[in-house]
């Protein structure tokens, strides 16, 4: 195992994930974890992450100084390198100018950390400070035009530093550098697999939960499903799952959840059909934020009532992933700066009174997918496009009523069915139908019609923060359009959305 001490870098968890990709178990821990505790955990190496602070700032986060005496190999990245050098008498100063982005690195070494790397390569920098001088205990391993000490090595101990970020994909040989550190320097063999993580999580959940009952809210999506499958593996019949039908779900969603969690995994599944209640409160509402608020509030009320009916429930499991955690400001006591409030965090309020279990908190989405497949969830579920909590309500522009919801639900099912048939579903990250709040003129048979318009949206994206519209093949568009107009009553026109994000968003509301 390798431990990453987290000094608040936005990419700290990415370091852990790159190392796990090389089949070495790696976990992020607090930056001030005591040397004694680290000794107990017995890692083969420590990585000090980057961070937004300055090492000479008064409040700057510092590690336990004893970690440098543990004899465990250490790699400092950016702020972490500055810390390691400062501890040994180096000077850290603000650089001539702050440096962000790609730059060319010239390596002076070709072994150890730099084994299998060319002398020149592209690296990614993001720093204000840099190491200006090093004590003669260190030697410089590489430089860039603006940063004469871009990588260092201690003369006699296994302490290394990199001013740039090897964990980001813009650093050309970043993965090789991390692999060199964990394999050549720390001696890890690379035998770890996802199944070992499942075993580890299962053991941790069992130890924490004991004989108590755990509730897990299912949304039909990947994260909550993997959480439930993992808990089921750990505690079986002590797990109760709650699935709330808010009346704004996709076609067949409830049945799929039943099939998965009642027939396949035999969990104690509570399907609460609260659609009538939701639709009553949403009736006639057209303001998007109002729709979200109503759905959020009613969901909590319905969920709470169902949870209270389950005797002896003590824990609540949630499928929070690592990116949800960074985007909403990270661990409450951590040094990371808040970036953005994410939809998925804090879906249920703390005052529900349960202790939280978040077994996916350290994982990225693709790791969660791998875990889900290993736990026996279907490919169809694992690669399902994300679906927003407020569901069809925010894809039905204008006032909500059951008829309009049904229309949208049918059109949406046709879009997805045709994309699957054409083998395009996996090329697209999110696709759906939107029901517009306008009517347009058409002609059907001999008569003039004045009916609804459906917009089809399909996007490709890496992270949902930016997205491109998908260049859908004409025959597929044609099939979708013909089917919607023929099969969905009250729709006489279909349009395709060709807007990118930004400036548009993925959803229409
Ligand atoms: P936008 O429309 O902001 O969407 O480009 C980015 C991603 O977020 C999803 N989204 C939501 N998810 N509740 C959710 O759970 C919401 O209110 C919500 N609004 C947008 C959207 O589907 C896309 O994946």
Rounded distance from Cα 293 to ligand 1 centre (Å): 14
Is residue 329 over pLDDT 80?
no
Please enumerate in sequence order all residues whose Cβ is within 8 A of that of 376, keeping only pairs 6 or more positions apart, or say none: 229, 264
Rounded distance from Cα 17 to ligand 1 centre (Å): 25
Question: Helix crossing, 194-209 with 222-235: angle to 10°?
Answer: 70
Residue 334 CA, chain-centre distance (Å), reads 18
Beta strands in 197-267, from DSSP E residues, in sequence order: 213-218, 239-245
Ligand 1: residues with CB < 6 A are 292, 343-344, 386, 388-390, 430, 464, 501, 505-507
Is residue 66 over pLDDT 80?
yes
Q: What's the pLDDT score for residue 333?
A: 44
164-183 per-position pLDDT tens digit: 999 999 999 999 999 999 99
270-327 per-position pLDDT tens digit: 999 999 999 999 999 999 999 999 999 999 999 999 999 999 899 999 998 876 665 4
Query: What band does 487 get if pLDDT is binned at 50, 70 and 90?
Result: very high
Better pLDDT: 348 or 225: 225
* Alpha-carbon dihedral sign for residues 162, 166, 171, 177: positive
Better pLDDT: 115 or 337: 115
Closest residue (by CA) to atom 4 of ligand 1?
A: 506
For 66-100, give the DSSP string. Answer: GGGGS---EEEETHHHHHHHHHTT-EEEEEEEEEE
Distance CA 259, CA 126 (A): 48
Q: What's the pLDDT score for residue 443?
A: 92
Q: Are 2 and 18 in contact (CB under 8 A)?
A: no
Please report where in the chains the tokens 């860039």 appear, as a residue: 144
Domains, the chain, ordered by start:
2-185 (3.40.50.880), 194-382 (3.40.50.620), 401-496 (3.30.300.10)
The best mutation among 297, 318, 386 to test binding of ligand 1, ranked by most ligand atoms within 8 Å of the C-beta, falls on 386
Rounded distance from Cα 100 to ligand 1 centre (Å): 29
* Section 39-56 average pLDDT: 94
Q: Are 298 and 274 in contact (CB under 8 A)?
A: yes
The best mutation among 223, 244, 343 to test binding of ligand 1, ranked by most ligand atoms within 8 Å of the C-beta, falls on 343
Q: Which residue numbers are catalytic?
A: 78, 165, 167
Q: Which atom of ligand 1 is nearest to the CA of 505?
A: 5
Rounded distance from Cα 465 to ligand 1 centre (Å): 10
The best mutation among 388, 392, 469 to test binding of ligand 1, ranked by most ligand atoms within 8 Å of the C-beta, falls on 388
Mean pLDDT of the chain: 92
Q: What's the pLDDT score for residue 326?
A: 54
Query: Can you give the pTM of this predicted structure?
Result: 0.80
């Amino acid at each position: 195992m390798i431990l990453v001490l987290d000094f608040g870098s936005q990419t700290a968890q990415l370091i852990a994930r790159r190392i796990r990709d090389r089949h070495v178990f790696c976990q992020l821990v607090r930056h001030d974890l005591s040397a004694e505790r680290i000794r107990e955990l017995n890692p083969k190496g420590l990585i000090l992450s980057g961070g937004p602070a300055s090492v000479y700032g008064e409040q700057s986060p510092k590690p336990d100084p004893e970690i440098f005496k543990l004899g465990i190999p250490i790699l400092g990245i950016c702020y972490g390198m500055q810390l390691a050098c400062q501890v040994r008498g180096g000077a850290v100063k603000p650089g001539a100018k702050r440096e962000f982005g790609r730059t060319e690195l010239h390596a002076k070494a070709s072994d150890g950390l730099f084994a299998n790397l060319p002398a020149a390569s592209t690296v990614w920098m993001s720093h204000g400070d840099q190491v200006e001088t090093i004590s003669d205990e260190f030697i410089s391993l590489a430089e860039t035009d603006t940063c004469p000490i871009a990588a260092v090595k201690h003369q006699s101990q296994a302490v290394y530093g990199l001013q740039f970020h090897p964990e980001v994909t813009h650093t050309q040989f970043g993965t090789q550098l991390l692999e060199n550190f964990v394999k050549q320097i720390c001696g890890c063999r690379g035998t770890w697999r996802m199944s070992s993580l499942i075993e580890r999580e299962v053991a941790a959940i069992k130890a924490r939960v004991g004989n108590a009952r755990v509730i897990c809210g299912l949304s039909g999506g990947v994260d909550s499903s993997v959480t439930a499958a993992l808990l089921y593996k750990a505690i079986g019949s002590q797990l109760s799952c709650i699935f709330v039908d808010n009346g704004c779900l996709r076609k067949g969603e409830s049945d799929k959840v039943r099939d998965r969690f009642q027939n396949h995994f035999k969990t104690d599944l509570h399907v609460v059909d609260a659609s009538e209640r939701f639709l009553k409160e949403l009736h006639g509402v057209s303001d998007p934020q109002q729709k979200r608020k109503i759905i959020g509030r009613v969901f909590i009320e319905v969920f709470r009532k169902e949870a209270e009916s389950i005797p002896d429930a003590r824990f609540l499991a949630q499928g929070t992933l690592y990116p949800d955690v960074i985007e909403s400001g990270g661990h409450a006591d951590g040094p990371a700066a808040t970036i953005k409030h994410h939809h998925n965090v804090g879906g249920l309020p703390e005052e529900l009174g349960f202790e939280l279990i978040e077994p996916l908190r350290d994982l990225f989405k693709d790791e969660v997918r791998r875990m889900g497949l290993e736990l026996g969830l279907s490919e169809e579920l694992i690669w399902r496009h994300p679906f927003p909590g407020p569901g069809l309500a925010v894809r039905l522009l204008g006032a909500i009523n059951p008829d309009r919801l049904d229309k949208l639900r049918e059109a949406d099912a046709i879009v997805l069915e045709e994309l699957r048939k054409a083998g395009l579903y996996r090329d697209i990250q999110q696709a759906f139908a939107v029901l517009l709040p306008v009517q347009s003129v058409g002609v059907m048979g001999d008569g003039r019609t004045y009916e609804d318009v459906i917009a089809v949206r399909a996007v490709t994206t890496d992270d949902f923060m930016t997205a491109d519209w998908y260049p859908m093949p004409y025959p597929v568009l044609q099939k979708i359009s013909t089917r919607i107009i023929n099969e969905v009553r009250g729709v006489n026109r279909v349009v395709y959305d060709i807007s990118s994000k930004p400036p548009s968003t993925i959803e229409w509301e």
